[in-house]
């Protein structure tokens, strides 16, 4: 049987005596925490990131404008969602601006109330005209003797007669 030398576990057991192995281990990219934010490099680092069971972490990508929300269920099975973000120089658009842009021709509640008043006035005019026309037809019918005198005097006030 041939002698193969020292066991391969010696560099891990005594790292102070084997600095070349210790440096190789620290060269691997590890996530950096800054102000509670975990920064990683790319989706492969996000996939490799270990999450404790029943917990969720947000991983910020330093190479792309996205973040990864990585969760693990009670059994430790991970799931990940990817969110892209954009950087803006102005305030976010409101729902009204999203629909109409910066158009200033948007009616206000006061404008709508004024329009409703105009519609109501037109309805009243239509009702008066309808009553006037029915009174005229009643007068015509009376002239031919088909209606009574009470029906003829039913002309509404304010309608020209």
| Site of tokens 């192995």 | 21
Sheet holding 66-72, edge to edge: 32-34, 37-40, 55-61, 66-72, 78-84
Q: Are residues 117 and 84 in the same domain?
A: no
When pLDDT is averaged across residues 1-28 and rounded to a whole number, the result is: 53
For 135-160, write each residue's pLDDT tens digit.
Answer: 888 888 777 765 555 555 555 556 55
Question: What DSSP assignment string belongs to 82-123?
Answer: EEE----SSPPPPHHHHHHTT-S-PPPHHHHHHHHHHHHHHH
What separation in angstroms does the CA of 50 have from each of 45, 57, 145? 10, 10, 100
In tens, the pLDDT along 78-119 reads: 999 999 988 888 777 676 666 666 666 778 899 999 999 999
> How many domains are contained in the chain?
2
Q: Is residue 25 over pLDDT 70?
A: no
Q: How many whole angstroms separate alpha carbon 128 and alpha carbon 132?
A: 6
Question: Each residue of 47-66: pLDDT tens digit?
Answer: 999 999 999 999 999 999 99
25 and 63 together in one domain: yes
154 vs 69: which has the higher pLDDT: 69
Residue 36 — pLDDT band, cuts 50, 70, 90?
Answer: confident
Confidence of residue 3 (pLDDT cuts 50, 70, 90): low
CB-CB contact of 22 with 6 (8 Å): no
pLDDT at position 105, please?
72
> Average model confidence (pLDDT) for the chain?
77
17 has pLDDT over 60: no
pLDDT for position 136 = 87
> In this structure, are 125 and 83 located in the same domain?
no
**Does residue 151 belong to any structural domain of this protein?**
yes
Determine the distance from the C-alpha atom of residue 141 to the mean position of all C-alpha atoms in its chain, rounded to a whole number: 65
| Residue 69 and residue 138 share a domain | no
Instruction: Write out the two tokens for 43.
Output: 């989706």
Residue pair 161/155 in contact by the 8 Å Cβ criterion: yes
Q: Is residue 4 part of a domain?
A: no
CB-side exposure of 54: number of CA atoms within 13 Å? 1
Host domain of residue 51: 10-88
- Tell me, yes or no, whether 123 lies in a domain: yes
- The model's pTM: 0.41
């Amino acid at each position: 049987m041939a002698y193969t030398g020292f066991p391969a576990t010696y560099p891990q057991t005594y790292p102070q005596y084997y600095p070349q192995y210790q440096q190789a281990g620290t060269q691997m990219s590890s996530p950096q925490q800054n102000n509670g934010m975990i920064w990683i490099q790319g989706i492969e680092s996000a996939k490799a990131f270990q999450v404790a069971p029943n917990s969720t972490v947000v991983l910020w990508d330093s190479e792309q404008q996205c973040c990864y929300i990585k969760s693990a269920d009670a059994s430790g099975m991970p799931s990940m969602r990817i969110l892209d973000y954009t950087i803006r120089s102005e305030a976010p658009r409101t729902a009204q601006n999203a629909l109409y842009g910066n158009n200033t021709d948007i009616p206000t509640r006061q404008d709508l109330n004024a329009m409703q008043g105009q519609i109501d006035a037109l309805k009243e005019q239509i009702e008066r005209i309808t009553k006037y026309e029915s009174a005229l037809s009643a007068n015509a019918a009376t002239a031919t003797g088909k209606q009574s005198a009470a029906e003829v005097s039913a002309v509404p006030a304010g309608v020209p007669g």
